[in-house]
């Protein structure tokens, strides 16, 4: 099991800290952070972040497919 700290998540998603906070507040599908101990910062499970990224990619792809005919893309 591998964990990502906030900086790792920011780099992996290529987003700013403020955008991450917006995701945490507004996107119910975004993985929840966990606290491994009282003295440590919160972390995310790497697999959860990667699954979320994959789901977001395919969701965007499906939205694109529904709005464009195959002929428009090719």
Name the one residue in this structure whose structure tokens are 């599908």: 29
User: What pLDDT band is residue 74 in, cutting at 50, 70 and 90?
Assistant: very low
Residues 52-66: pLDDT tens digits? 999 887 676 665 555
3-state secondary structure the chain: CCEECHHHHHHHHCCCHHHHHHHHHHCCCCCCCEECCCCCCEEEEHHHHHHHHHHHHHHHHHHHHHHCCHHHHC
How much is the pTM? 0.76
């Amino acid at each position: 099991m591998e964990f990502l700290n906030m900086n790792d998540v920011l780099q992996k998603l290529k987003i700013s800290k403020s955008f991450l906070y917006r995701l945490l507040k507004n996107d119910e599908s975004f993985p929840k952070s966990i606290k491994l101990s009282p003295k440590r910062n919160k972390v995310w499970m790497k697999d959860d972040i990667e699954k979320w990224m994959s789901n977001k990619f395919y969701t965007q792809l499906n939205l694109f497919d529904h709005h464009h005919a195959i002929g428009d893309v090719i």
